[in-house]
Structure 1
């Protein structure tokens, strides 16, 4: 890649998602990324040949601008749209500039969906975690893949917020039409300061991968278009 994401060095379970994607879906499958940011996951997926739907509401992440970095530094940063053009990948990516939790759920059937540490942000706490998960699930075709990495509770205050969850708590959202493929978690670790968190901080992260095994209940057996 000629360009680099502001989140390039943040810890991620994305390689496990990519490996499962290669095993379970076609090389040119459609993959949605919820909370696409500046393209840390979107660009590698597009470069690998997937058709990508990038869902993001933050104008700075999409269009670029000045960002506040550790050390009280400010610097210009490229947004997703600019990075896609520079990497000549814009033809493989559909950008949806929208709030994933507002309005009617998106009607964009996909072969796989991925989100990274998005639902724990306070901006998403106005809706139940179950709604975020359900909206993601509804985009996945039968046989498709659901992938999410997320922050787990570290501090006592996190235990009061359902959006800091765990693989065990997520399982009850995946009963019936889903097979849970893989769950992982980290111990507590210290992450270096980065955009949005300008001091070193402590995290625990989890991974949840599942596959849809049957059509959505409301589809009445009709194949998704």
Structure 2
């Protein structure tokens, strides 16, 4: 890549999602990225040959602009759209500039959906976590893949917000018509300062990967009975 995401060095379970994507979908599968930001995950997916739907509402992340970086450095950041054009990937990505929780569902099911640490942001706390997860699940076609990495509670205030969750709690939304593939968690770790958090800080993160069963739930139940 000629360009680099501002989030390039933050910890991620994305390699595990990519591995599951290769196993459960075709090489030209359609993948929706919810909370696409400046393309940390969108560009690698598009470069690997996948068709990508990038959902993001932040104008700065999409179009670039002035940002404050660690060390109180003011810099000009490149947005997702310019990065796609510079990398020659713009035609492989459909950019949806909307609030995922407030907009209409996408007009077609996807082979996979991925989100990274998006629902814990306070801007998304006006809707229950269950709604965020359900809207993502609706995007996944039968036989498709759901992937999410998320922040787990560290500070006392986090335990009062359901959006800081755990693999066990999140698994409750995947009882019917889903098959859990993988859950992971980290212990507490210190992450270097980055955009939005200008000092080193402590995190815990979790991962959940699930596959939607190939047929409608009632048919699946009959098959298993």
Task: Please classify the TM superposition score into its range, dividing by the shorter chain length.
Answer: over 0.9
Contact 1:138-1:216 at 8 Å conserved across structures: no
What are the equivalent positions in structure 2 for 1:144-159 lying under 5 Å apart? 144-159=144-159
Q: Which residue of 2 aligns with 1:172?
A: 172
SS of equivalent to 2:18: helix
Match of 2:55 in 1: 55
- Structure 1 portions without partners, runs of 5+: 218-225
Structure 1 CA distance for aligned equivalents of residues 7 and 137 of structure 2: 25
Q: Is the 8 A contact 1:192 1:201 kept in 2?
A: yes
- Residue correspondences, number: 218
What is the alpha-carbon distance in structure 2 between the residues aligned to residue 91 and residue 104 of structure 1? 23
Deviation at 1:214, TM superposition (A): 4.0
Give the match for residue 40 of structure 1: 40
Indicate yes or no: 2:62 matched with 1:30. no
Partner residue in 1 for 2:91: 91
Q: Note the C-alpha offset of 1:19.
A: 0.5
Q: In the aligned structure 1, how far is the partner of 2:149 from the partner of 2:198? A: 22
Question: 1:49 and 1:73, CA in 2 relative to 1: closer, same or farther beyond 3 A?
Answer: same
In the alignment, does 2:4 pair up with 1:8? no
Counterpart in 2 of 1:81?
81
Aligned mates of 1:108, 1:216 — CA distance in 2:
17
Once residues 72 and 185 of structure 2 are traced to their aligned partners in structure 1, the CA distance between those partners, rounded to angstroms, is: 32
CA distance in 2, matches of 1:103, 1:143: 25
TM-score between the two structures when normalised by the length of structure 1: 0.95
Which SS does the other structure have where 1:183 is aligned?
strand
Contact 1:141 1:215 in 2 (8 A): no
CA shift for structure 1 position 172: 1.1
Q: Is 1:121 matched up with 2:121?
A: yes
Structure 1 CA distance for aligned equivalents of residues 71 and 108 of structure 2: 41
The alpha carbon displacement at 1:171 in A equals: 1.1
Over residues 92-113 of structure 1, what are the superposed CA-to-partner deviations in whole Å (9 max), with x where a residue is unaligned?
Answer: 0000000000043333310000
Question: 1:58-85 CA distances to partner (integer Å, 9 max, x unpaired)?
Answer: 0000000111111111000100000000
Aligned to 2:138: 138
Equivalences for 1:157-196 in 2 at 5 Å?
A: 157-196=157-196
CA positional deviation for 1:215: 4.7
Instruction: Write the deviation string for residues 158-208 of structure 1: whole angstroms up to 9, x where unpaired.
Output: 111000000000111001100000000000000011000011110000000
- TM-score, normalised to structure 2, is 0.95
Describe the shift of the 1:198–1:216 C-alpha distance in structure 2 as closer, same or farther (beyond 3 A).
Answer: farther
Q: Which runs of 5+ in 2 are unaligned?
A: 218-225
